[in-house]
Amino acid sequence: MRIDAISYGVHESPRTEPFVIASGATTSSTNVIVRAESGNLVGYGNACPNSVTKETRDTILAALGVLSKAVRGHEFEKNLEFADAMDGALAGNPAAKAGLDIAFHDLRAQELGMPLYRFLGGGFRARMPTDMTIGIMDAKATVSKARHWVAEGFRALKLKVGLEPAGDVRRLRSVREAVGPDVELRVDGNQGFSLQSALAFAKEIAPLDVVLLEQPLPAVDLNGMKILTENSRVPVMADEMVLSPQDAMRVRWGACARAVNLKLMKHGGLSRASEVNAVCESAALPAMVGCMGESVVSVAAGLHFALANRNVRWADLDSHFAIERDVAPRLRFEGGDLIASEAPGLGVRVDDGFFR
């Protein structure tokens, strides 16, 4: 597979509504959409600026300039060769790398005429439930959002928490009462808790049948995460603390979590996400595939990745639902499940006009 040409452009869209989490608030979504050509094939990718990897629109554009130069005109026989070539050209910048890596995988799967999840080794499932995330808002608004999304078909909800633990418990209790026992509830603290408040919070939400307590403590607090993991009945999941395979090993050896949230933007694309997942799977840490404020392009890639890997037990692939004007149509969504395209590759096409 030779990469003949690469182009990219910034896409900005308002969010359908403001989104507040413990680490900040956003009202719009920015993505850098990547287009790569090989012969007469065209592949697409997406790099999403985010505070976890500390990449901005401008760092992504600068990184893509360097990375494009390093891979354009070269022949790559294996997926890992492509990821290694990018790492050899530039350290860090995982979201920028994910943009190119996704486009490369799209091209390779198209070349073999198979949907990306099959190219990645999957085939045992073609659809998966995703949760819908509800940002931090007052209890009444939270309940009305929860009812709305359940009516839309979602069978799992993820509540953002961590700004005010007492209020978080009340909101969770109201949501559980409103949606009944059959909707799965997950919570994400986005590093907003202290160890003491997280321990108390975990104890209070345990009777509410919450299935995951995601990254309540700062990413650097390995010891706190270990103590919380030992003492919380609600399984603790690591997110912001796992970017690389080495990070996953630290979580494993430190027993800092019981599950890990994988994101293509954090790890640098599909090849590196596979490496992180391999560590998780070997340590019996089941994974979720999550997303940043991503367009449908990389959400589709996340879905293919989730479908292809048995260790991925949960999907949190909802960001494209919140983008008012995306670059391509939404993924198929039925009965709470995202359904992968059976077209060769990623199954997402972005209008050529976007890149002019």
Residues identified as active-site = 160, 263
Binding site for Mg ion (CB under 5 A): 188, 214, 239
At 235 the three-state DSSP class reads coil
Residue 240 CB, shortest distance to Mg ion, in Å, is 7
SS3 percent helix, strand, coil of the chain, rounded to 5, is: 40, 25, 35
Could you give the dihedral angle defined by the CA atoms of residues 49, 53, 54 and 58, in that order, rounded to the nearest 10 degrees? Answer: -40
Give the nearer residue to Mg ion in terms of CB position, either 106 or 318. 318
Q: Calculate the alpha carbon distances from 57 to 22, 200, 312, 338, 355 in Å.
A: 22, 38, 29, 28, 16
**How far is Cα 278 from Cα 118, in angstroms, rounded to an integer?**
18
Q: Closest approach of Cβ 171 to Mg ion, in Å? A: 17
Specify the amino acid at residue 241. M
d(CA 237, CA 48): 22
Least distance from C-beta 282 to Mg ion, angstroms?
Answer: 23
Closer of 239 and 337 to Mg ion (Cβ): 239
| 334: its two tokens | 């039925």
Of 7 and 311, nearer to Mg ion (C-beta) is 311
Shortest Cβ distance from residue 263 to Mg ion (Å)? 8
What does residue 128 show for φ and ψ, rounded to 5 degrees?
-150, 140
Distances in whole angstroms, Cα of residue 341 to Cα of each of 101, 320, 338? 19, 16, 10
- Amino acid in the structure at residue 349: R
Given the complex with Mg ion, which of 216 and 347 has the nearer CB atom? Answer: 216
Residue 65, classed as helix, strand or coil, is helix
Using left for φ > 0, alpha for ψ between -120 and 50, and beta otherwise, residue 335 falls in left
Which 3 state secondary structure label does DSSP give 15?
A: strand
Contacts of 353 (CB under 8 A, 6+ apart): none
Closest approach of Cβ 327 to Mg ion, in Å? 24
Q: How far is the CB of 36 from Mg ion (least distance, A)?
A: 29
Closer residue to Mg ion (CB): 214 or 337: 214
Q: Which residue is nearest to Mg ion (CB)?
A: 239
Tokens of 276: 């992180």
Query: Closer to Mg ion at the Cβ: 32 or 187?
Result: 187
- d(Cα 325, Cα 11) in Å, to the nearest integer? 9
